[in-house]
Copies of this chain bind each other. A is one copy, B any other.
Amino acid sequence: MTGPLKGIRVIDITTNISGPSLTMILADLGAEVIKIERPNTGDDSRMMGPLWEGEGVYYLHINRNKRSIVIDLRTSEGKDLIYDLIKDADVFVENFRYGKASKLGIGYEDLKEVNKGLIYCSLSAYGQEGEKRHKPGYDAIVQADTGIMGINGSEDGEVARAGVSILDQGSAMWGALGIVSALYHRVQSGKGQKVETSLYETGVFWTGYHMLSYMATGIEPKKMGTNHASFAPYGAFATADDSIMIGISNNSLFAKLCKVLSKEEWIEDDRFRTNLNRVENRTVLNDCIESVFKTKSASVWIHELEEGGVPSSIIQKVSSVIKSAQTESTKMLTPVNHPKIKGLNLPRLPFQLSDSPLEIQKSPPLLGEDTISILREKDIDDETISELIEKGVIQVSDQLEYKK
């Protein structure tokens, strides 16, 4: 690993989406991430459909660059192994329901005793305070509970869950930022600390602009489809074939649009002169524009809009994004060698560092793939390892033959 967190060791006991997304970010940044999984099934996301050669695609997406060790936390030997791993770790991440980590003996107060400099991160559904902290929560449930769902969807249609997991992955991003910030703080202060984040807090922050709009105006934010409350014209328009998206935020861009549409008379039209006028007369403006757009195909318009300097795009399918020239130019998809899946490509993190580049070096591990190598690094002898396997305290991957 060449990333900035090279030399940092993370013990990761998270499951499902949010926690593993968080530790994947740390792994891509160069940290060594040891993923502790429960016997037999491992992380639930391994079986979340669709499967690809038997591997859940969500698991594949968010577990590269990690090592997997299977430990039965319910045994005292298992717990001792965890404490042993914590001793020389830098970061611990958990996403249990509220209170469960402490019950298991791996709460912050417990692990601080084992390792004073530890950075301990809790990622939960509703946070560590308030009446809802005990509640289970998934991305969509918390989208509903933080107002996101209520303002997402077409104007006359049903509400919708934002189509990508903005709370699972958003909270993962905030947690990772908190951890790296705490690592930076530790260099200055020598102190570890607790990092807390949650899907709920992330959701409230996503709606920040809408909350402030409501506080300023008293007007309840609503679903706007592809439009934007503050700007017009701004949204999707039908053409002779596929829809296209345009976004006009000021008078200069509106003039450019009018030129492309050969409707320069609109520039000085009282109904459309300023953004405020255009927002007021959005319906008639959108009708006027669409009647022109309908005369040619989407690809012709996109070409003309680009030439004219008007922000625009066709509404891409996911399959087209995979193959698009811009995805290729930005090298967003990285080939990864996987023992079962040929041609696996995983999206890299969406930022780059020139002097400590991020890399995807290791495919998402099979369950227990690294159990033995991790324990050997801790100087646990092979006889003890054999005993622990026989007792069911640890497991090794089915794919690997255990050799003494």
Contacts and interface: CB of A to CB of B under 8 A. Distances in A.
Given A200-B330, A306-B135, A325-B130, A205 B166 contact: no
Interface string A165-205: 11001110111111011111101110111111110111011
B322 A194 contact: no
A314 B187 CA distance: 44
B311 A137 contact: yes
Interface stretch (A81-89, A257-265, A353-361, A370-378): A353-361
Given A205-B347, A311-B136, A185 B355 contact: yes
A78 interface: no
Nearest to A136: B311
A326 B132 contact: yes
Contacts of A191: 355
A181 B178 contact: no
A327 B332 CA distance: 36
A319 B173 contact: no
A195 B352 contact: yes
A129 B311 contact: no
A351 B175 contact: yes
B208 A347 contact: yes
A379 interface: no
Contact of A318 (B147, B236, B313, B355): B147
Contacts of A217: 50, 52
B146 A316 contact: yes
Interface in A136-167: 136-138, 140-154, 156-166
Contacts of A187: 184, 187
A321 B356 contact: no
Given A131-B325, A356-B193, A209 B165 contact: yes
Contacts of A198: 330, 350
12 contacts: A57-B209, A129-B329, A130-B329, A143-B245, A144-B314, A152-B163, A159-B243, A166-B166, A196-B352, A201-B330, A201-B351, A212-B346
